[in-house]
Amino acid sequence: MDYLLGTEWEIVPAGGATGEAFFAQFEEQKLFLKRNSSPFLAVLSAEGIVPKLVWTKRLENGDVISAQQWMDGRELKPSEMNADQVAKLLKKIHRSKPLLGMLRRLGKSPLQPETLLRTMEEGLDIDLLTIPSVIRSLEFLNSELENIPSEETTVCHSDVNHNNWLLTEQSELYLIDWDEAMIADPAIDLGQLLYWYIPKEDWVNWLDLYGIKLTEHLKLRMRWYVYAQTLNSIQWYKSKNRFDEMNKWINYLDVIF
């Protein structure tokens, strides 16, 4: 990385699961660097959804390094996820034609519920299939599968955890970490956010800010995708031998049931 910016820059790993992100600083200049980020980043930047993209450079080995403006700020707290800013930014994302157009050009096609369910079922370890809450969840997913399809598909972030929302010192809000972006039913994002962070008695008001009504079909779709995502999380934590987190999500199946 030094030869990209010069030896006067201090470059340190920025953490994260991939080890492909770095923080660079020289005097008052600060950049966030990432290796092989998607071309999608440029559109996210242009739409004001992530911090500004400053430049991209292709290396001799074919890797592409992107540099974004570093924004001093903090992640949102769980209690802040009911803020107007969150609902309005998610609405902007879901209704963005440039974002949708770019993902289509990158070869993405809408995720179908049956595809998600079959992939998830095939990926579950056999011993998980003996757990009563997992069995009950799979029965629900299969029994409601034909009731889930929706004509509406949008760009979905697919991990709207509060850790991925950046609030800057200037009160600007960004949604970061777009590695799992997809074209899908917006209920994927809405279900995560409402189930994890918003009391049910506040769902109607939150969705009013977002711009839609809470229908019975939306309730069913959100619940369906939350079950599917929870099962995926259980399998992921099990594969990493992180059994405390795995058990937490197993218990969560009982909570949402």
Please give the single-letter amino acid code of residue 241: N
Read off the pLDDT band of 115 (50, 70, 90).
very high
- C-alpha span between 1 and 33 (Å, rounded): 9
* Alpha-carbon distance values, 131 to 82, 135, 257 (Å): 33, 6, 14
Task: Give the DSSP letter of residue 77.
Answer: P
CATH of segment(s) 75-256: 3.90.1200.10
Collapsing DSSP states into helix, strand and coil, what is residue 91? Answer: helix
Read off the pLDDT band of 7 (50, 70, 90).
confident
- The answer for 63, left when phi > 0, alpha when psi is -120 to 50, beta otherwise, is beta
- C-alpha span between 215 and 147 (Å, rounded): 14
- C-alpha span between 230 and 247 (Å, rounded): 11
Angle between helices 187-197 and 84-94 (to 10 degrees): 170
Domain boundaries, the chain: 2-70, 75-256
pTM for this model (two decimals):
0.90
What per-residue confidence (pLDDT) applies to 39? 85
pLDDT at residue 2 is higher than 60 = no
Point out the residues that are catalytic: 159
DSSP secondary structure string, 121-178? HHHS-GGGGGSHHHHHHHHHHHHTGGG---S--EEE-S---GGGEEEETT--EEE---
C-beta separation of 174 from 165 below 8 A: yes
Read off the pLDDT band of 249 (50, 70, 90).
very high
Q: Which two three-digit tokens encode residue 214?
A: 């809470």
Question: pLDDT (tens digit, 9 = 90+) per residue, 175-228?
Answer: 999 989 999 999 999 999 999 999 999 999 999 999 999 999 999 999 999 999
Sequence-distant (≥ 6) Cβ neighbours of residue 256 within 8 angstroms: 195, 223, 226, 227, 230
Work out the mean pLDDT of the chain and round it to a whole number: 93
What per-residue confidence (pLDDT) applies to 126? 96
Task: Give the DSSP letter of residue 11.
Answer: E
Question: pLDDT (tens digit, 9 = 90+) per residue, 74-99?
Answer: 999 999 999 999 999 999 999 999 99
Return the CATH architecture of domain 2-70. Answer: 2-Layer Sandwich (3.30)
